[in-house]
C-alpha cells in the first residue's frame, strides 16, 4: 500500500534508510534525521507542484517500510527510485508497491515511460526488477538514455516500463479465466 509522503514518517524511514544494505542505493541520502526532514519536506513540495511523484510504501499494518518516487520527469518520462528497509526484504513490498505506483502514474498522470536505472553491482535490485513481467532491459532499445546515465563509465543497467505494455499486460492478467468445452474456446 502507498500513501503520500508525510513528515511524521521521517524517523522510521530514516532508521530504515540508514541500514548498510540499503543506504548505498538510496537516491536521496541523508546523514542525519534533521537533514532527512528537510529533504522530505522539499520532496513533498515538489510532489505537490507536480515536478515529481513520491510515495511512502506501507506494510500490512500501515507502517512505513520504504519509499517509491518518480524523479527527473521530462515530458512523459521519468526515473523510478525505490528503496525498501532491510527487515522487509523478500516480503513482496517492492513488487506490490511498483504495481500500485505504476497504476497511479499510468492512469492519473501524463507519464507513459518509466526508466529504472540500476547499478550493475546491485544484484538484489536487478533480480527484483527482472522478475517483473512488464519491465524490459533497455540498454540497447533506449541507447540514448543508457549512454546518458553512463556518461562516466558503465555503472548502470537501464530498464523500462512502457504504459501501453504495462496496461495491456495488466488487463490480460486480470482477464477472467475463460471456459472451454471439448469443441474448444467458449468466450
pLDDT score of 177: 54
Partners of 156 in beta bridges = 119
* Residue pLDDT tens, the chain, 187 long: 999 999 999 999 999 999 999 999 899 899 999 999 999 999 999 999 999 999 999 999 999 999 999 999 999 999 999 999 999 999 999 999 999 999 999 999 999 999 999 999 888 889 889 999 999 999 999 999 999 999 999 899 999 999 999 999 988 887 665 544 455 544 4
CA distance 11 to 31: 12
Q: By the 8 A CB rule, do 159 and 114 touch?
A: no
Going by C-beta distance under 8 Å and a sequence separation of 6 or more, which residues neighbour residue 6?
44, 56
Q: By the 8 A CB rule, do 41 and 83 touch?
A: no
CA distance 51 to 27: 16
Long-range contacts of 142-149 (CB under 8 A, 24+ apart): 142/115, 145/115, 149/117
Cα–Cα distances (Å) from 33 to 12, 46, 64, 83, 167, in that order, read 10, 20, 15, 17, 38
Residue 178: DSSP 8-state = P
| Closest C-alpha among 48, 126, 60 to residue 97 | 60
Helix, coil or strand: residue 121: coil
pLDDT score of 41: 98
Location of C-alpha cell 477472467: 176
Domains (range + CATH), the chain: 2-174 (3.40.630.30)
Q: By the 8 A CB rule, do 116 and 161 touch?
A: yes
0.85 surpassed by pTM = yes
C-alpha cell at 57: 510504501
CA distance 142 to 147: 9
pLDDT score of 99: 95
CA distance 43 to 14: 15
Q: By the 8 A CB rule, do 103 and 134 touch?
A: no
CA distance 130 to 5: 27
Amino acid at each position: 500500500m502507498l500513501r503520500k509522503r508525510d513528515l511524521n514518517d521521517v524517523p522510521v524511514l530514516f532508521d530504515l534508510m540508514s541500514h548498510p544494505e540499503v543506504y548505498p542505493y538510496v537516491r536521496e541520502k541523508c546523514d542525519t534525521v534533521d537533514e532527512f526532514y528537510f529533504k522530505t519536506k522539499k520532496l513533498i513540495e515538489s510532489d505537490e507542484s507536480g515536478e515529481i511523484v513520491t510515495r511512502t510504501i506501507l506494510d500490512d499494518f500501515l507502517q512505513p517500510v520504504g519509499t517509491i518516487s518518480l524523479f527527473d520527469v521530462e515530458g512523459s518520462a521519468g526515473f523510478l527510485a525505490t528503496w525498501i528497509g532491510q527487515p522487509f526484504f523478500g516480503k513482496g513490498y517492492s513488487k506490490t508497491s511498483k504495481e500500485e505506483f505504476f497504476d497511479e502514474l499510468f492512469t492519473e498522470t501524463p507519464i507513459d515511460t518509466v526508466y529504472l536505472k540500476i547499478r550493475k553491482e546491485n544484484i538484489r535490485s536487478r533480480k527484483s526488477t527482472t522478475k517483473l513481467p512488464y519491465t524490459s532491459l533497455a540498454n540497447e532499445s533506449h541507447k540514448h538514455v543508457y549512454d546518458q546515465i553512463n556518461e562516466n563509465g558503465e555503472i548502470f543497467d537501464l530498464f523500462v516500463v512502457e504504459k501501453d505494455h504495462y496496461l495491456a499486460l495488466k488487463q490480460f492478467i486480470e482477464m477472467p479465466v475463460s471456459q472451454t468445452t471439448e469443441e474448444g474456446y467458449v468466450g
